[in-house]
Amino acid sequence: MAKYKSILVLVFCFLCTGIVKAQQQDIYFLIKKNFSIFSQTYENVALEYVDVIDPEKLMRIGIDAMLETLDPYTVLYNESQNEQAEILSRGNYAGIGIEAGYRDGNVVIVAPVEGGTAERVGLKAGDVIVAIDGISTENLQPEEVQTLTAGEVGSEVTLTIQRFGVDQMLDFTLKRERIEVKNVSHTALIGDNEDIGYIKLAQFGQQSADEIRTSMIELGEQKDLKGLVLDLRDNPGGILQEAVSIIDKFVEPGLMVVENRGRIAEYNQTFSTNEPVMFDKPVVVLINGGSASASEVVSGALQDLDRAVVVGEQSFGKGLVQIVKPMPYNTSMKVTIARYYIPSGRSIQSVDYTHEGRNSGVIKREQSSNVFKTKNGREVKEGRGIEPDIVVETGAPSLLEISLLQKGIIFDFATQYFAGNPDKDLKTIPQGIFEGFKNYLEKVNFDTSDELEGYIDILEKELKGVAGSESRINELRTLLDQQKDQELQNSRKFIEQTIWLELQTRKGGLSARTNASLSIDEQLKTAIDLIKKPAAIEDILDGENN
C-alpha cells in the first residue's frame, strides 16, 4: 500500500510540473507573439507614417501608456530621470520639499518635507497638485511631478492646488532650495517632568534604525524615560529593512513583522525580528494621512503585536513593494513586485488597480470580510491603511488661513515684528500680538473678500440713482466688514500660534520652532496623557476598550 502511495505522489508531482511548464510555455509564446506584432507595428509607423515621427518619443509614449495600466509606481526612468532619482534617493537636492503620491486618479502631496519651502508656505498632505507652472498634472506620474518641481537653487515654481473643502483653486509660488532630508529630524524630552522621549522620523533612509537607536540612548542618558513617542506623521516611507530594524528595538526576537507576497518566489520574503528588546516601556506611535509605506509597516506591525498604541489619523494606504531594475542605455525601471502583509495577515494597501487600460481605474478597497486579529485578539481592519487606536483629527484651515499663508502675510508680519522686538521673551504668545496683526492687515491692504467687494461695486453702479439704493449698499458693505472681522476672530488661535512659531524660528531656528510646536500639538498631548497612565495603554492593548 505504501508503495502505491509513493507512486501516486510521484505521478501527482509529475503532472503539476507539467502544468507549470505548460503555463510558462503559454506566457512565453504570448510574449513572443505580441512582441512580434508590436515591433512590426512600431516599425511600420516609424518608417511609413505620412508625417515624420520621432521613433524614440513614439516608443516612450507606448511604454508609458503600457505601464500606466498597472499602477502609479511602476515607471521607466530615462537617463536624466535616472540621475534625478539617484539625487533624490541621496536626500540632497534643490526642490520645494514635497513627496508626491497618487490617489483617486490625482497626484497628491503625500507629505511636505519638514523645514522645506512647501511646508512653510502652507502646502499640506492631501493637497491635489492640479498644475505645475501651468502644466496640467493629468496623466503625469508622481516621479514626473517630482522632476518638474526640482531645479536650480533659487528658481521659482508655481503649483496650482485643489484642497478638500475649498471651492477655488489655490496658486502657491515657491522658491527652490537645497534640501537635505534627515532621517531623525527632531528629538526631545517632553511631558510635565520631561521624562517622556520624543523622536520624529522624517523618512526611512539609510541608517534610520541606527539614528533611532542613538536617539533613544541619548534620551535615556538624560532621563529615566517613562515612555516614548515615535512620530511618523507625514513620513512617506523608504527602505523596508530600516523599518524592520526599527521594530526590532521594541519587540522580542523571532516575530514576523512584515511579509512580501508576489508572483515570483524569489521576491517573496518574510522579515522577522532578531535583536534583544532595547526599549520595554510604553510606546505611542503618531500617524496621519501623510504616513505611508514603511511608516505603515512600523505602525501596523507594532499595532498588530500589541506593542504600541497608534494615535492620530488614518494613514495613506500604500502597501505595494517596488524594486528598481537596471535597463539598457542608462535607463532603469521601477516595478511593483509584491504587496506588504503585516503580522495579523492583513494588507495595508487601500486601493486596487483594474489594469483595464491607460489611466486604469482605481477601486477604493472596502473593508475586508476577513477578520484579522492582533496578538491579544483585538480586531483590526484591512484595506484602509492603518487606522489609529485613538483618532485625534486636526481641523482643516479656513480659506482665510490658507490665504494668509499663501500670500506670506504671517511670515512677513513675523519678520517685521521680530526685527522690532529682537529681545522679547517668546516663551509664550506675546500679548497684543493679534491686535498688532490686525493693524498690519490694514497697513498692507489685505482683503480676502475682493470678489464680494467686486459684486457690491457692480450693484452700486447698476442701482445708481435708484431711491434707497445707497443706504442698502452701505448696509451690505457694513455686513461684509462684520463678516470679515468675524472670520478673523474665528481664526485668532491659528493666527497667534502660527505667528508665535514663526517668531520661534527667527529666535532659535527650526529646532526651536519644532519644540514650540510640540507644546501646542493636540495629537502629541493625547500621546503624553496615555504614557502618563500606563493602565490606560494596557487596557487598549488588551482589548478592554474594543
Sign of torsion over alpha carbons 381, 386, 387, 388: positive
CB of 341 closer than 8 Å to CB of 301: no
Query: Grid cell 484642497 — which residue?
Result: 163
CB of 344 closer than 8 Å to CB of 386: no
Residue 299 and residue 287: Cα distance in Å, rounded?
8
Residue 328 and residue 491: Cα distance in Å, rounded?
56
Residue 409 class from Cβ within 10 Å (0-12 exposed, 13-18 middle, 19+ buried)?
A: middle
Query: Grid cell 508626491 — which residue?
Result: 100
Provide the annotated active-site residues.
Answer: 293, 304, 318
Secondary structure of residue 287 in the 3-state scheme: strand
Q: How many residues does the chain have?
A: 546
CB of 205 closer than 8 Å to CB of 260: no
**Three cell numbers, residue 443:** 497697513
Q: What is the dihedral of CA 367, 368, 372, 378, to 10 degrees?
A: 20
Residue 290 and residue 95: Cα distance in Å, rounded?
19
Residue 72 and residue 93: Cα distance in Å, rounded?
23
CB within 8 A of 275, min separation 6: which ones? 245, 248, 249, 253
Give, rounded to a whole angstrom, the gap between the first and last alpha carbons of the chain: 54
CB of 246 closer than 8 Å to CB of 544: no
